[in-house]
Amino acid sequence: MADAREDPTIFTAHSPPSDPRFWATVTNAYLGTRVYQDTLHVNGVYNGALGATHRAILPSPLNVQLEAPVGTGEQLTTTFVLDTNTGSFLHTLEDSRFRASQRIYAHRTLPHLLAFSVSITRLATESGPITVLLQSAFSPESPDLDLHLGPDFQGARYLYGRTLTPEQPGGSQQEVHMLWTPVPPALTLGESEEDRTWEFLTVVGSSQAEARACLEEALQLQARGALYTAHAQAWAQLWEACGLDVVGPLPLRQALRGALYYLLSALPEPGVPGYVCHGLSPGGLSNGSREECYWGHVFWDQDLWMFPNVLMFQPEAARALLQYRIRTLGGALDNARNLGYQGAKFAWESASSGLEVCPEDVYGTQEIHINGAVVLAFQLYYYSTQDLQLFQEAGGWDVVSAVAEFWCSRVEWCPAEGKYHLKGVMPPDEYHSGVNNSVYTNVLVRNSLLFAAALAQDLGQPVPGQWLAVADKIKVPFDLKQNFHPEFDGYEPGEEVKQADVVLLGYPVPFSLNPQVRRNNLEIYEAVTSPQGPAMTWSMFAVGWMELKDPRRAWGLLERSFANITEPFKVWTENADGSGAVNFLTGMGGFLQAVLFGVTGFRITRAGVTFDPMCPAGVSGVCVSGISYQGNKLHFSFSEDLVTVQISTRAPWAPPLEVELWPSQARLPLPLGHTVSFPRSAGRIQRSLL
């Protein structure tokens, strides 16, 4: 779908970004850094107690600047490139005599490895030596780790230590072991050489043995000349397996590619064994040091804003995110107990243990809507995969049932209204605290309880009567006179709100709304939503207008939903003025959903994946490749007139699928490898009933 003159996959600049926060990031599932930053982070390694816990800083040997020697006598052309195809960052210096290129990447198949290479190529016939300089300010020190230099290993330097302060009193101090190739001050291409490449490796592990084993594996690839090739091939296979593109403006296509690239960078390579997920934080693994990007904590951002995209393309990675919630359930149980309630209350800000580490109590005690986002992620995963093992044996049921128990202990019965109330909460709109009956939160309570009850039946578990009673009788505020949902009891139209809140009803939160109420909710809250709010807000307004088939308003809000991108490397900021978290995966997640779920109309339901495509103004077609549903991989594309669906792969255990079209209810089989096309309409992809 790419125009040869418009490649949305490569981001190029001839000068660096004005703000160093906007350099590209290089991350994989275990390690992350920002280009030319002096720190790197290790997934799951935090330092500091309770609300002071944050990602521990490890000094980065990759912070090496490529420079030409002074006095070369010729103007150099400098280029910086983020190549999303190969998951690498390139810095190139070139004149008429030579080209020197530095390539930086977080290895895709060896997640414990960060690497950079420098290549010098002779361009002129003269045969003299060519020298480039490498500027490094590496210092083996950290404010978060007690570090010590150890003996070299296979030519690599060795640094090891422990975090200074555990998250919880009596907790363990985490170990970090790093091996890296020493960097010389200069590299020279000899007189008789036409080109040469040098590679520099950084390996991090949780033990000396792990770090050494990872280095040896990397050195074996290096000896075969396959270190970078293995990484680039893995990225090529990843892009072949999934993608999201439109027939539309280049900035939109670039925004989609950049957002999907940064999100995929944070996920494990499919099929890699032994991966332990430590959650996705708003600023990703490249950020999260003390006083930065929410200190690397995990919020609802993971479950509501990022997870649906991950689930559609990489269900294995989605399962790993759910396993993070399962692994931290003990902390969630303690959080509820500490507040005087039963069941589990997932932390508003979570790190290693799942105990609340939010520095400000008001958010940790009142933003209980996170529980509903966590259960919604489990619900979508269950519908999409039918992975009973996660719920029967791996702890998924424990999470869902514990949240149900929390809700039932947290609500209060109001005899006057004959309804259950949920008092003293903060909704997603953080401008209002201590409110009663947040409509968003209460709808999530109902959704959680109904899913818990249905799941219990599927698993052969008893269904507590209180779950259904609370689901049936919890108050959902509604203003009959103005025909809209007040954000909470006592909300007056015109009050400013911080971010998307009520407009999340319908999507991503399953909730049936008639079109006029949906329209009223959108119009009333769009007018009062703060322009200083976070980046993900406008994407959900865009989804709402797509549901209502208003292409003009949908396009205006879709454009607004990716306005927080910075140039040249498509790094997002949380807020429109450039403040807040950077490389803001939450905003990217919302924006991706606006296209992946909004433009297509995809909804993951118990019966299948429904669709209802529409083209916002300025977009004439969409192509989504690599959608996962119950062991099938699908390609789904549409234009203004036609929809095309193809099953590209099917697991041996996976059921055959079909398309049911609406309103005709015609059913079209989806044979493996065959393309099925039909006039654009709504419908559902489902297990074959034929």
Amino acid at 197: T
| H or E segment to which residue 67 belongs | strand 64-67
Of 490, 491, 495, 454, give the one whose Cα is nearest residue 471: 454
Contacts with 634 (C-beta within 8 Å, 6 or more apart), sequence order: 626, 627, 628, 645, 646, 647, 648, 657, 670, 685
pLDDT of residue 292: 86
DSSP category for residue 303 = I
Q: Is 459 a residue whose pLDDT tops 50?
A: yes
pLDDT tens column, 517-533: 999 999 999 999 999 88
Phi, psi of 233 (to 5 degrees): -65, -40
The mean pLDDT of 590-617, rounded to a whole number, is 97
In the sheet with 609-611, reading across from the earlier edge strand, the strands are 603-604, 609-611, 682-687, 657-662, 667-670
Task: Measure the CA–CA gap between 206 and 194, rounded to whole angstroms.
Answer: 41
As given in the structure block, the two tokens for residue 195 are 């080109």
**Nearest-10 crossing angle of helices 315-327, 329-339:** 40
The length of the chain, given as a count of residues: 690
As given in the structure block, the two tokens for residue 497 are 């709100």
Phi, psi of 591 (to 5 degrees): -60, -45
Phi-psi region of 255 (alpha: psi -120 to 50; beta: other; left: phi over 0): alpha
Task: Measure the CA–CA gap between 621 and 639, rounded to whole angstroms.
Answer: 4
Task: Measure the CA–CA gap between 469 and 597, rounded to whole angstroms.
Answer: 32
Diameter over CA atoms, the chain: 93
pLDDT of residue 72: 66
| H or E segment to which residue 330 belongs | helix 329-339
Taking the whole predicted model, whether its pTM rises above 0.85 is answered as: yes
More confident residue, 68 or 546: 546
Task: Measure the CA–CA gap between 201 and 219, rounded to whole angstroms.
Answer: 9
What CA–CA distances, in Å, run from 425 to 246, 336, 438, 471, 509?
40, 14, 7, 18, 18
pLDDT tens column, 119-144: 999 998 887 899 999 999 899 999 99
pLDDT tens column, 409-450: 999 999 999 999 999 999 999 999 999 999 999 999 999 999
- With the C-alpha atoms ordered 586, 588, 591, 592, is the resulting torsion angle positive or negative? negative
As given in the structure block, the two tokens for residue 354 are 């799942």
Phi, psi of 380 (to 5 degrees): -60, -40
Q: How much of the chain, in percent, has pLDDT values that exceed 90?
A: 92
Of 309, 67, 13, 62, give the one whose Cα is nearest residue 201: 62
Amino acid at 411: V
Cα 431 from chain centre: 25
Task: Measure the CA–CA gap between 414 and 378, rounded to whole angstroms.
Answer: 30
SS3 labels along 70-86: CCCCCCCEEEEEEECCC
Contacts with 458 (C-beta within 8 Å, 6 or more apart), sequence order: 388
**Nearest-10 crossing angle of helices 439-459, 370-385:** 40
| H or E segment to which residue 604 belongs | strand 603-604
Q: Is 3 a residue whose pLDDT tops 70?
A: no
In contact, 680 and 640? CB cutoff 8 Å: yes
Task: Measure the CA–CA gap between 512 and 518, rounded to whole angstroms.
Answer: 9
Cα 427 from chain centre: 22
What CA–CA distances, in Å, run from 239 to 28, 124, 236, 307, 668?
15, 37, 5, 19, 28
Task: Measure the CA–CA gap between 113 and 159, rounded to whole angstroms.
Answer: 15
Q: Is 276 a residue whose pLDDT tops 50?
A: yes
Q: Is 74 a residue whose pLDDT tops 90?
A: no
Task: Measure the CA–CA gap between 472 and 484, rounded to whole angstroms.
Answer: 20
As given in the structure block, the two tokens for residue 66 are 């490529």
Phi, psi of 284 (to 5 degrees): 75, 180
Of 205, 476, 414, 448, give the one whose Cα is nearest residue 304: 448
pLDDT of residue 2: 41
- Among the ranges given (97-111, 126-140, 225-239, 465-479), the one the predictor scored with the smallest mean pLDDT: 126-140
Tokens 């299948």 correspond to 608
Contacts with 590 (C-beta within 8 Å, 6 or more apart), sequence order: 305, 500, 535, 536, 537, 539, 540, 561
**Which amino acids are annotated catalytic?**
430
- The overall average pLDDT reported for the chain is 95
pLDDT tens column, 345-397: 999 999 999 999 999 999 999 999 999 999 999 999 999 999 999 999 999 99
The SS3 call for residue 45 is: coil
The SS3 call for residue 275 is: coil
The SS3 call for residue 272 is: coil
Give the CA angle between residues 127, 132, 134 to the nearest 5°: 160
Contacts with 208 (C-beta within 8 Å, 6 or more apart), sequence order: 150, 158, 160, 177
SS3 labels along 605-632: CCCCEEECCCCCCCCCEEEEEEEEECCE
Tokens 């594996």 correspond to 217
Q: Is 4 a residue whose pLDDT tops 50?
A: no
Task: Measure the CA–CA gap between 247 and 253, rounded to whole angstroms.
Answer: 8
Amino acid at 616: P
The mean pLDDT of 55-73, rounded to a whole number, is 89
Amino acid at 34: R
pLDDT tens column, 180-199: 999 999 999 999 899 999 99
